[in-house]
């Protein structure tokens, strides 16, 4: 996994976190315990600060950044879906950001809120705790049901378990292990 210092800023990563080898972590970044960071994710704290708290899942191809001298905060047990864009915002505990969603500057997503796939949470928007927000721009369309919150809590546990499973089970293959050995007929 490429982990880079930027100037005087060096990432701080809890040893129980798992960062996929093709993810990039740069500069003023703190990654807490049992945080899973998937393939292709970019967490770039070059001129802002990024704080990812315990138990969160940063899925494949997510980009996280912050404006100059500003901060992006991802609280405990948050799920950031595949290819989401997170920029200079606060995402509260237990929230879920759907695949390819955007959460923009100075927005705040409340505790246990769900931002739908592809939604755009515009700058300075507040998504209420426990609500579901969808659309472009994202608007609150209802409240998360207890079974939805329970589903996402269980999903977070799966990613937390991957933090210990991946180091034991992931192995890069040599070409001889995956190239077909069958001769054309």
Q: What is the pLDDT of residues 15-71, one digit of tens each?
A: 999 999 999 999 999 999 999 999 999 999 999 999 999 999 999 999 999 999 999
* C-alpha to C-alpha distance for 103 and 91, rounded to whole angstroms: 9
Residue 149 CA to residue 136 CA, distance in Å, equals: 23
Q: Is residue 79 in some structural domain?
A: yes
Helix H or strand E segment including 141: strand 139-143
In a domain, 92, yes or no: yes
Residue 183 within a domain: no
How many other C-beta atoms lie within 10 A of the C-beta of residue 165? 13
Is 54 within the bounds of a domain? Answer: yes
pLDDT, tens digit, 9 for 90 and up, residues 127-178: 999 999 999 999 999 999 999 989 988 888 899 999 999 999 999 888 988 8
Query: Would the pTM of this model clear 0.85, i.e. be above it?
Result: yes
Burial class of residue 109, CB neighbours in 10 A (0-12, 13-18, 19+):
buried
User: 115: which strand partners?
Assistant: 97, 133
Closest CA to 49 of 85, 73, 16: 73
Q: Are 80 and 86 in contact (CB under 8 A)?
A: yes
* Confidence band for 72, pLDDT divided at 50, 70 and 90: very high
Residue 45 falls inside a structural domain? yes
User: Could you give the number of structural domains in the chain?
Assistant: 1
**130 is in which domain, residue-wise?**
3-178
- The domain that contains 146 carries what CATH number? 2.160.10.10
Residue 81, pLDDT > 60, answer yes
Half-sphere exposure of 167 (CA within 13 A, CB side): 13
Let me know the angle formed at the C-alpha of 98 by 15 and 88, rounded to the nearest 5 degrees. 65
For the cut 80, the answer to whether the pLDDT of residue 182 exceeds it is no
Does residue 140 sit within a domain? yes
- The answer to whether residue 185 is domain-embedded is no
Q: Is residue 63 part of a domain?
A: yes
Under the banding of pLDDT at 50, 70 and 90, the label for residue 184 is low
Q: Could you give the CA distance from residue 181 to residue 142 in angstroms, rounded to a whole number?
A: 55
Nearest to 3 by CA among 32, 36, 45: 45
| Of the candidates 118, 114, 122, the residue with the CA atom closest to the CA atom of residue 140 | 114
């Amino acid at each position: 996994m490429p982990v880079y210092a930027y100037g005087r800023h060096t990432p701080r990563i809890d040893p129980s976190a798992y960062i996929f080898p093709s993810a990039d972590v740069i500069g003023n970044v703190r990654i807490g315990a049992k945080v899973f960071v998937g393939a292709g994710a970019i967490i770039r704290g070059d001129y802002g600060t990024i704080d990812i708290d315990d138990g969160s899942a940063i899925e494949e191809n997510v980009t996280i950044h912050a404006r100059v001298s500003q901060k992006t905060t991802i609280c405990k047990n948050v799920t950031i879906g595949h290819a989401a864009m997170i920029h200079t915002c606060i995402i509260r505990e237990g929230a879920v950001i759907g695949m390819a969603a955007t959460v923009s500057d100075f927005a705040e997503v409340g505790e246990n809120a769900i931002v739908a796939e592809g939604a755009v949470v515009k700058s300075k928007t507040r998504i209420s705790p426990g609500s579901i927000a969808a659309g472009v721009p994202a608007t609150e369309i209802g409240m998360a049901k207890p079974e939805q919150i329970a589903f996402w809590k269980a999903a977070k546990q799966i990613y937390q378990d991957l933090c210990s499973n991946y180091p034991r089970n992931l192995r890069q293959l040599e070409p001889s292990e995956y190239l077909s050995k069958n001769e054309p007929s």
